[in-house]
């Protein structure tokens, strides 16, 4: 996937050299780091702009966690991994690297208590054209790693993946070429939560994990956070995890 060399026996997607150089973030072990700070800053910006308009006071928020498996850099060919998953239909990449992300998260004291995993939804038309949701592929692989670690079935001590709770209510422009402010406006109000599906949850979640492929500005994940907060109170932690993290948003 990175250097183009033929793989030796036992190697999958990365040769031993690229595997050794994989720019892992280690963020799953650190509460305070650039990804979490960017995510929480986006949440606070959203709260301070929406609360005055609604006439409501700011509710206290706990610090939300964030983690990615590796850094996404234009100069490094590791960016081919999320690109191939998203645009080339290579779902097996998502399953492989999503499981690796899940192994990191399930072994972390920050993410060990995750009990509900939600993939970032695609608009139905984009889902139809692509044939799958790359975030859902990753979310299922992450949950599989939790399940293997615990040895328990889903819902019995390991997180449950639900793809029916969140909906993308309107199509949005691709975020790639937009500024940070344009990204926030582009996804504002783009998501809704299915309250009926929420009411059918067999448990009350304590720690929700929202999964996506790449974290850039965090605008999409902050918009989802705002949507989830309309149902889940501040005591419920809403963390995020992605395959890759862009250092410079």
Q: For residues 201 and 89, give the distance between their C-alpha atoms in angstroms, rounded to a whole number.
A: 31
User: Encoding tokens for residue 15?
Assistant: 């040769």
Residue 209 is assigned to a structural domain of this protein: yes
The structure tokens 């067999």 sit at 202
Phi, psi of 91 (to 5 degrees): -65, -25
Domain span at residue 228? Answer: 22-53+61-246
Q: What is the pLDDT of residue 55?
A: 45
Residue 4 is assigned to a structural domain of this protein: no
- What pLDDT, in 10s, does the model give residues 178-203? 566 666 666 667 789 999 999 999 89
Q: What is the 3 state secondary structure string of 140-207?
A: HHHHHHHHHHHCCCCCCCCCEECCCCEEECCCCCCCCCCCHHHHHHHHCCCEEECHHHHHCCCCCCCE
Residue 1 is assigned to a structural domain of this protein: no
Residue 2 is assigned to a structural domain of this protein: no
pTM of the model: 0.89
Q: For residues 219 and 156, give the distance between their C-alpha atoms in angstroms, rounded to a whole number.
A: 33
- What pLDDT, in 10s, does the model give residues 131-175? 999 999 999 999 999 998 876 665 556 899 999 999 987 666 565
CATH number assigned to the domain comprising residue 225 = 3.40.50
Low-confidence stretches of the chain (pLDDT < 70) are 50-60, 151-157, 170-188, 249
Residue 72 is assigned to a structural domain of this protein: yes
Q: How many domains does the chain have?
A: 1
Q: Which of 203, 246, 227, 247 is nearest to 238 (CA)?
A: 227
Residue 3 is assigned to a structural domain of this protein: no
Residue 208 is assigned to a structural domain of this protein: yes
Residue 115 is assigned to a structural domain of this protein: yes
């Amino acid at each position: 996937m990175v250097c183009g060399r033929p793989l030796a026996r036992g190697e999958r997607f990365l040769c031993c050299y690229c595997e050794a150089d994989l720019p892992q973030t280690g963020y799953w072990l650190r509460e305070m780091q650039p990804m979490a700070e960017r995510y929480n800053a986006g949440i606070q910006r959203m709260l301070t702009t929406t609360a005055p308009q609604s006439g409501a006071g700011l509710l206290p928020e706990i610090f939300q966690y964030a983690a990615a498996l590796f850094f996404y850099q234009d100069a490094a060919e590791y960016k081919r991994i999320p690109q191939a998953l998203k645009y080339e239909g290579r779902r097996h990449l998502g399953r492989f690297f999503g499981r690796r992300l899940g192994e990191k998260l399930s072994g972390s004291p920050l993410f060990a208590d995750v009990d509900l995993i939600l993939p970032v939804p695609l608009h139905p038309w984009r889902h139809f054209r692509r044939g799958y949701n790359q975030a859902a592929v990753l979310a299922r692989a992450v949950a599989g790693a939790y399940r293997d670690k615990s040895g328990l079935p889903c819902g019995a001590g390991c997180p449950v993946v639900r793809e029916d709770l969140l909906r993308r209510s309107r199509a949005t422009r691709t975020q790639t070429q937009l500024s940070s402010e344009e990204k926030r406006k582009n996804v504002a109000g783009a998501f809704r939560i299915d309250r009926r599906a929420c009411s059918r949850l067999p448990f009350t979640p304590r720690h929700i994990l929202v999964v996506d492929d790449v974290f850039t500005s965090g605008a999409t994940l902050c918009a989802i956070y705002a949507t989830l907060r309309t149902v889940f109170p501040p005591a419920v932690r809403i963390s995020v995890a992605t395959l890759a993290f862009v250092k410079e948003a």
